[in-house]
Amino acid sequence: MTQENSRQRRAPPTALITKPRARSAAGVREIFARFEAANPEPKGELDYVNAFTLLVAVVLSAQATDVGVNKATRKLFEIADTPQKMLALGEDVVREHVRTIGLFRTKAKNVIALCEKLIAEFGGEVPTTRTELESLPGVGRKTANVVLNIAFGEIPHAVDTHVFRVANRLRIAPGKNVLQVELGLEKAVPPAFGRHAHHWLILHGRYTCKALRPECGRCIQQDLCDSPDKRVV
């Protein structure tokens, strides 16, 4: 028997290589009912005063912590809470305010550029559609979804690393990439829980269902979780 044939015999049948099975509708509803009972009004952890400062904060939060962004924007938002005021500061001043945040040079440039576009094309107002938001410098699909959810009360599902992990571990919306998980959440999350779903998932992933050392002993979903990452307690 050749070495190649030996490897072929050891390989698992293709039929067995499947993605995790999604949880039943009743199971998903139970998960979100528990999240709601534990935290009826979850809030995001970025500080902002209006839709514009929320947009800027979310743009700055890419590859950065909310705590770090809040420290950097506290004084900035006190003096520039509109696109006009931010643009008047200029890129150099904005860059100094956000220099403690990763990729601060690129982010400061994007903030100024999005202010210019908001003023030129949207009358200085934050647009209310995903397509328009994604047309702004530094704004991708996740950022647009966060703004739509928090600022305008819509129910898109912004998927960051925490949401991606929890949605897969709890089999709410298994997927191999963020778009698969986002589309899966759109189908799986009951409408009654849609407005807060993003915050419940991100907070659960940030503080309990952590990437390396999930705190399964205090998880309110422990008995429903069959993830291979589950820690025996």
User: pLDDT tens digits for 91-114?
Assistant: 999 999 999 999 999 999 999 999
Which of the 8 DSSP states describes residue 17? -
Q: Which of 102, 135, 152 is the C-terminal boundary of a domain?
A: 152
pLDDT score recorded for residue 128: 97
Domain check: are 57 and 147 in the same one? Answer: yes
User: pLDDT tier at 10 (50, 70, 90 boundaries)?
Assistant: very low
Instruction: Give me the sign of the Cα torsion angle 213, 218, 220, 221.
Output: positive
- Catalytic: which of 47, 85, 160, 176? 160
Question: How confident is residue 233, by pLDDT bands cut at 50, 70 and 90?
Answer: low
Catalytic residue among 142, 187, 210, 223: 142
Q: Give the total number of structural domains in the chain.
A: 2
Inter-axis angle of helices 178-188 and 141-152, to 10 degrees? Answer: 30
Whole-structure pTM value = 0.85
pLDDT reading at 151 higher than 90: yes
Kindly state whether residues 165 and 215 are assigned to the same domain.
Answer: yes
Residue 81 designated active-site: no
pLDDT in tens, 208-223: 999 999 999 999 999 9
Residue 20: pLDDT band with limits 50, 70, 90: confident
CA distance 110 to 132: 16
In a domain, 131, yes or no: yes
CATH number at residue 99: 1.10.340.30
Query: For the domain that residue 202 is a member of, what is the CATH number?
Result: 1.10.1670.10
Residue-number span of the structural domain to which 188 is assigned: 24-42+156-224
111 CB-contact burial (10 Å; exposed 0-12 / middle 13-18 / buried 19+): buried
Residues 38 and 72 in one domain: no
Q: What is the pLDDT of residues 202-211, one digit of tens each?
A: 999 999 999 9
Mark whether 176 is an active-site residue: no
